[in-house]
Amino acid sequence: MATQTRAQEYFQNTPDATKVYETSDGFVFDWMPNAIAHANTLDDKQVLTLGRDGDLISDDVDGLENLTETQIEILKNGLDKKNYNSIKEIVKALNIETTDPKAETLIKALEEYKQNLNK
């Protein structure tokens, strides 16, 4: 199945989606960190963003390419105070500005970042 067909199929099944993330092996993801984590297992680590019409929106991955697989996993599933040091590194790597360095503030900023990433 061609990648564009996979993207089109995804859009047909998910009417609210506006973009998908495609890895070099043709897999399509709805969340950039998942695409990056998968791309990190490939020789070609490029992730492209495709719009509903199948056109390339951007190949900019919003700083996520600077994150390690562990950091992506924490961003995905581990936004908890116990991961404070990693969360602090993620915020710095993504150039997210916060009002203070408290765990709650950093977690809130990353939650907002994740929501914007999925739009």
Residue 59, CA distances (Å) to 15, 69, 81, 107 in order: 23, 19, 32, 26
Helix 69-77 vs helix 32-39: crossing angle, to nearest 10 = 150
Single pTM value for the model: 0.55
Per-residue pLDDT at 114: 84
If you average pLDDT over residues 46-58, what whole number do you get? 81
Average pLDDT, the chain: 84
7: enclosing H helix or E strand = helix 3-13
pLDDT band for 3, please (50, 70, 90 cuts): low
